[in-house]
Chain A
Amino acid sequence: MSSALLEVSGLKTWLGRVDQPLRAVDGIGFTIQRGETFALLGESGCGKSMTALSLLGLNPLPVSRIVDGEVKLAGLDLLQLSEAEMQAIRGRRIAMIFQEPQSSLNPVLSVGEQISECLNLHFDLDAKASQQRVIELLESVGIPDPLQRIKEYPHQLSGGMKQRVMIAMALAGEPELLIADEPTTALDVTIQAQILELLKTIQRDTGMAILLISHDLAVVAQMADHVAVMYAGQIVETASRQQFFEQHQHPYTDKLFQALPSEQKRDQRLTVIKGSVPVLTQDFKACRFVERCDHAWDLCRTTPPLWTEDNDHGVRCHLFNQDADVERTMLPQTQYSSPLSEVLPAERNVLTVQNLKVHFPIRKGVLQRVVGQVRAVDGVSLSLKHAETVALVGESGCGKTTVGKGILQLVPVTDGDVEFHGHRLNGLPERALKQHRSSLQIVFQDPYSSMNPRMTISQIIEEGLSRKQFTKDSEAKEKRINELLERVGLRAEIKHRYPHEFSGGQRQRICIARALAAEPEIIICDEPTSALDVSVQAQILNLLREIQHEFGLSYLFITHNIAVVNYLAHRVAVMYLGRIVEQGSRDDVLHTPKHPYTQALLAAVPELDLNTTEEVTRLEGELPSPAKPPKGCHFHQRCPQAMPKCLESYPEHTQLSTSHEVRCFLYEESE
C-alpha cells in the first residue's frame, strides 16, 4: 500500500436530455490504493455500474455523458485521453469482468482464441509464446487440463468455468486494476466461494487492486479492504472494512444492515426503508436520503449534507458534521424493532409428496426417438403442514424449481404421488384438477416476466378471482380487488395501470395479491426475493409472514439464500441433483448439518461476521448433469469424505432424530 493507484474526484455522468438530465453518477470521489480491494456497495439503480463504465470511458453513448470530474490512474487523467489512447489503457492497465459470464464471451470463438486476442492487443508475441501464455493464464485461474480447454467453446463450459475464463482474459493484460462488476451474482454460492477465493489468490500473487462492485454485504465483508456505499448517485459513506462493519455511521448504511434477514431477527419484523429512491432528474436542494431517514430534521430538508471525513472514515450526513447542531447530533439513535412472531405450524399435513419424479425425455434423430432422460427430479418426498414454511435449498440446476412445478402439475409428473388433503393431484385430468388449482399458488422469481405486460393490474388480479364465487357480480369483484391490493400494501387506485409502471418490489406485491386472490392454502414461492434489493426483500419477507399469520398459509419456499431460510423457514430440505439429501427442522439442518453437501453449502455462504478466519473445506467442481448422474451417490465426485461404497449405490434414508433425516453412508451405521 504505497501510493494511490486510482483517484477519482467529482465524477459526474449524466444521462438523457440536456435540459433535464438524469444524474446517474453525481459527484463521486474515491481513492484506491495499490493492491487493495475497494468495494462499491449499493442497491440497483444507484449508479455503481455507471461509475465503473465511466472510469473506462465505456459509458453508453450518446445517451450518457461525463460532464465533470477527474479520474487519475497513477497521475494520468483518463478523461482527457483520446479514444485511441484509452484503448491502450483498457485491458492493459485496467481490466473489467462482468456479471453475466454467458453473454460476455463470444460464442463462436474458442477459449484460447479469445484469450490470445487480448494478449495480441497489448503484447507483441508470436503464436507459440502466446499459446504458452494462454495456458499459464488458464492454469492461474484454476482451470484443469488447460491444453484441452483452449480448444473448447464457451457453450461447452459451465457458468463457473466461464467466469474463470473471463478472469483469465482480464488478467491477460496484467492489469494494475481489475474492475469486477458483480462478478458472482449470477453464480451459485459454492461457485461464488470458489471465484472469490480465486480473486483473493490472484490479488495476493500479482498485487493488483480490485474495484469490487456488489450489492451483497456479505461478499463485501469477505473481500474488501475499503468500502464505499453509494446512494442515488453519490457516495454516502466510506470506511475501512473494520470501521464499516463495526461502526457504520450513515443512517442508510445502518438500515441496510438492519434489513438483512437472519436467525436473530426471527421474531421481529425486518426493518424496511420507507419510501423509494428519489427521482434523479431533480436538482437536489436537500439530503437525498431525507425522505426515508428516521433521523432527519429541518437542516436535512434545506441543505445537502457535506462530506465529512474523520480518521479515514468519510460520511455524507449532517449527523456527523461538527458544525451542525450539536444537541441534535448527540441524540441517541433509537433502535426500534416491532415484533412479528414466528408462525406456529399446525400438526395437520396439507400436502404430501411421495417419491415425486419428473423426467424430461431427450429426443434425437429424425424420428425423435427417446434416447435418454433428464432426471430433473428423481424421487423427492416431503410434506407440508398447515401454516408451515418448508425451505427447499440447493444449487441452481438441482431441480428445486421443477419440484414446485411438479407439485402444481405445471409439468407432467413421471412418477410418484402429490397428495393435497388426501386427494391425489397427479394423473387427474385438467377438468378435475381445476377445482384444486386455486388452492395451490405460485410466486415467481422474476417479477418482470410474471405478469402479462398487456393487462392492467385489475385484470391480472381478476384472473385469480373469477374462478371462485365472483362470477357475475362486478361490484363485489372490484371491492375484493381493492381489498387485496391494500392487503399487500398498495393503493387501490393503481389498479388501472399496467405492470411496466411499477418497480420490482411493487410488482412482486402484485404477484402476491394475484396468488392471494385465489384464496390458496399453499403458496410455492420460487425465489421470490432473489431479484430484489435487500431493503425491498425485507418488505416482501415481512409481507409473506404477515399473510401467513392472517390466512394460515403454508409456504414451500424455494431459495438458495440461507439467510432468508434462517429467518422464515420452519423446516429445511436440501436438494442435490434431483434428490433430497438432508431434511429436517431448521435448527437441525442449519446448525448441525450432517450431509457433507449441506456442510459445504453452508460453509460457502459468505458471512457478515469479520472474525471467521477458520479454514473451511471449499467444495470443488460443479453440479453434474442430471441427464447423466454419476453412478452411486450423486455427490461422491465432490465429496471430501467419499468412501468406496459411495461409488456403488445411492444411500438410503437414515433417520437421525424424529425431525432429521439424511441420505449418506456416513450415518448409516449409527442406526
Chain B
Amino acid sequence: MPFLPVLLWTDILIYLLLSVVVASVFYVRRRPHLIAPWKFVFQKKRGVISVMILLCYVAIGVMDSVHFRLALPSDEKSKTQHYSTEVLTVLDVLVMPLRQQLEKTYSSPFATRLFMREMQQSESGTVTFDYAKLKYAGAHLDNEQDKTADIQNTVIKSTISALFIWFVAVIVVMFWWAKKHEINWKQVVNKFRLGQSSYPVRTCFLMLLVLLVFFFNLIALSASYHVLGTDKVGQDVLYQALKSVRTGLVIGTLTTLVMLPFALFMGIAAGYFKGWIDDLIQYIYTTLNSIPGVLLIAAAVLMLQVYMNNNPDSFATIAERADMRLLFLCIILGLTSWTGLCRILRGETLKLRESDYVLAARALGAGGLTILHRHILPNLMHIVMIAIVLDFSGLVLAEAVLSYVGVGVDPSMSSWGNMINSARLEMARDPIVWWSLTAAFISMFTLVLAANLFADVVRDAFDPRMQASV
C-alpha cells in the first residue's frame, strides 16, 4: 500500500459528528415542524452568507482530518513496508508546495527578498550585507521590478477564470431549476433576477462569486508568492493559518459534543425528578461553577503533559501525541462548560413537566421514560440547538487564549492561539513583523463572525416567541 491510513481520536469523533449531522438532515427533512425553522434560516440573507463561509471552513477542516502516513521508498533487502513518521492529511497533499517551500526566515507578504539583511557572497566573490533573495517566492521572475505587473496579471487571469466558472455554475443551476419545476428558463432568469424566490438566491450567487474570486486569486498567487509572508523558520504563514482551521473547529464542535450528554442528562434529571436528585445536581453545578475554569484546565493539561512525557512509547507519532492533548483539552473544556446549558435545561424541564400534554400523557398511563423521550426531550431540542451554535464561537476564542497562556494545544500543532503566541515576540521587533498576528486574527475573526451571525439567525428561527409571530 502506498500509504497507511491513520485514525486519530479526534478524526473518529469528527466522522461521528458528520454522520450525526447527515443523519439528522435526513430526519429533519421528513418533519415539517422541524424543517420550518431551518427554512427560515436559509431564507435570511445573513443565514445564507454565514452558512457559505462556514462551509468553506468546514471543507478545509474535513480535508485536514483525513490523516495518513506515506510509504517510504521500499528497501530491496527487507520485505516489510516502512512508513514515514510524518502524518499527512489530504489538505497537506493539496497544498504541498506551501508546506515544502521553506524560506530561511521571516519575509513579508508578497516579498521577493528576506525581511532582514545578512552577509552573502556574490558569484564574483564580493561579500555584501544585504536582503537575500527568497528561494521560492518570485523565483520565476527574471527581473524583480516586474513583480507588480506579474501580480496584476495573475489577479486578472484568475478573476476572469473565476467569473467564467461562476457563470457556468449559475447557468447549470438555472437549467436544473427550470427542469425541476418545468418552467421556461426565461422565467427562471426573471425570477432569480428580480428576487422573487422565497430564498435569497441573488445573495447566494453573489456570495458564490465573491468566494470563487477570492479562492482563485489566493491559489494563483500563493503558487508563486508567500501571500501572508513567512515566519521565523521560513514556513508559509498561509499554510499555518489553513492548518489552524481544523484545530479551531475541533475545539468548537467536539467540546460541545462532550458537554452535551452531561448537560442533557443532568438538566432533565434535575428538572423532571425534582427532590433530592435536583438538589444534588444543583449543588454539583454550583460548586463546579465557582472553581475558576482556567485553573482546572491548566491542572488537567499539565497532568496529561507529565503522563505523556513519562510514557513516550504509547504514541507512534508526534501527531498522535498532539492529538491526544487536543482531545483532552476538548474534554476538560466540556467538563467545565456544561453548567450553563444544564441550568437552562433544568428550568425548561421544570416548566414542561407541568404542561397539559405531559399531564394528559400521564392520565393515559404513560411511564416516566416515555414521557421523557417523547414529550420532554423533543421540546428541549431547540434550546440545545441554540446553545451549541452560540457556544461554538466562544470556544474557538477560548482555545486562542488558552494556547497563548501555554495550557492550550500542543506547541507542535498549528493553531491560532499558537500563532498568536509566537507572534508575541515578533511584535516587539523593529521593524515590526505584523503578518503572523494579522493572519491569525483575520482567519479567526471571519470564522467567529460567521458563526455568530449564524447563531443569531438560528436563535431567531428556533425561538418559540419568534415562531408565534411568524
Contacts and interface: CB of A to CB of B under 8 A. Distances in A.
Q: Specify whether A and B are partners.
A: yes
Contacts of B33: 453-454, 498, 500
Contact of B356 (A446, A497, A498): A446
Contacts of B360: 442, 444, 450-451, 511, 514-515
Given A442-B360, A452-B379, A464-B364, 17 more contacts: A63-B469, A405-B359, A410-B363, A437-B364, A438-B365, A440-B363, A450-B356, A450-B357, A451-B357, A454-B33, A454-B378, A463-B361, A467-B365, A498-B32, A514-B364, A515-B360, A518-B365
15 contacts: A63-B469, A410-B359, A410-B363, A433-B365, A441-B363, A441-B364, A444-B359, A449-B355, A449-B357, A453-B379, A454-B33, A455-B374, A463-B364, A514-B364, A518-B365
A632 B365 CA distance: 40
Interface string B459-470: 000000000010
B274 to A, nearest CB: 12
A251 B32 CA distance: 39
B56 interface: no
A497 B374 CA distance: 17
Nearest to B32: A498
B364 A438 contact: yes
A103 B21 CA distance: 41
Nearest to B365: A437
Contacts of B179: none
A219 interface: no
Nearest to B352: A452
A155 interface: no
Among the interface residues A446, A449, A452, A498, which one has the most CB atoms of the partner chain B within 10 A? Answer: A452
Contact of B365 (A434, A446, A454, A514): A434
A463 B366 contact: yes
B167 to A, nearest CB: 32
Contacts, number: 63
Interface in A387-445: 405, 408, 410, 430, 433-434, 437-438, 440-442, 444
Contacts of B39: none
B362 interface: yes
Contacts of A430: 367
A463 B33 CA distance: 19
- Most A CB atoms within 10 A — which of B362, B364, B469? B364
B248 to A, nearest CB: 33
A441 B33 CA distance: 28
A180 B439 CA distance: 62
Interface in B102-142: none
Nearest to B366: A463
Interface residues of A, number: 31
B375 interface: yes
The 7 closest A-B pairs by CB, nearest first: A437-B365, A450-B356, A454-B378, A444-B356, A452-B357, A434-B365, A449-B356
A452 B364 contact: no
Contacts of B367: 430
Given A449-B356, A498-B33, A454 B363 contact: no
Contacts of B34: 454
Contacts of A408: 363
Interface string A449-490: 111111100000001100100000000000000000000000
A454 B379 contact: yes
A452 B375 contact: yes
Given A452-B374, A452-B379, A454-B378, A518 B364 contact: yes
B277 to A, nearest CB: 14
A500 B33 CA distance: 9
Contacts of B469: 63
A284 to B, nearest CB: 25
Nearest to A453: B33
Nearest to A455: B374
B122 to A, nearest CB: 73
Contacts of A449: 355-357
B261 to A, nearest CB: 21
Contacts of A515: 360
A463 B374 CA distance: 10
Nearest to B375: A452
Contacts of A467: 364-365
B363 A437 contact: yes
A283 to B, nearest CB: 21
Contacts of A440: 363
Contacts of A454: 33-34, 378-379
Contacts of B359: 405, 410, 442, 444
A446 B356 CA distance: 8
A410 B354 CA distance: 10
B27 to A, nearest CB: 12
Nearest to B357: A452
A450 B354 CA distance: 11
Nearest to A405: B359
Contacts of B355: 449-450
A662 to B, nearest CB: 32
A209 to B, nearest CB: 33
Nearest to B362: A410
Contacts of A410: 359, 362-363
A438 B365 CA distance: 7
Interface centre among B32, B33, B355, B367 (most CB of A within 10 A): B33
B268 to A, nearest CB: 15
Contacts of A452: 357, 374-375, 378-379
B164 to A, nearest CB: 37
Contacts of B363: 408, 410, 437, 440-442
A281 to B, nearest CB: 15
Contacts of B366: 463
A451 B356 CA distance: 7
Contacts of B375: 452
A449 B469 CA distance: 17
A433 B360 CA distance: 15
Interface in B85-105: none
Contacts of B32: 497-498
B246 to A, nearest CB: 35
A569 B34 CA distance: 42
Nearest to B378: A454
A433 B280 CA distance: 30
Contacts of B357: 449-452
Interface in B342-396: 355-357, 359-367, 374-375, 378-379
A308 to B, nearest CB: 38
Contacts of B379: 452-454
A442 B367 CA distance: 17
Contacts of A437: 363-365
B67 to A, nearest CB: 39
A361 B400 CA distance: 51
A504 to B, nearest CB: 14
A556 to B, nearest CB: 13
Contacts of B361: 463
Interface string A488-513: 00000000011010000000000100
A441 B356 CA distance: 12
A354 B110 CA distance: 91
Nearest to B33: A498
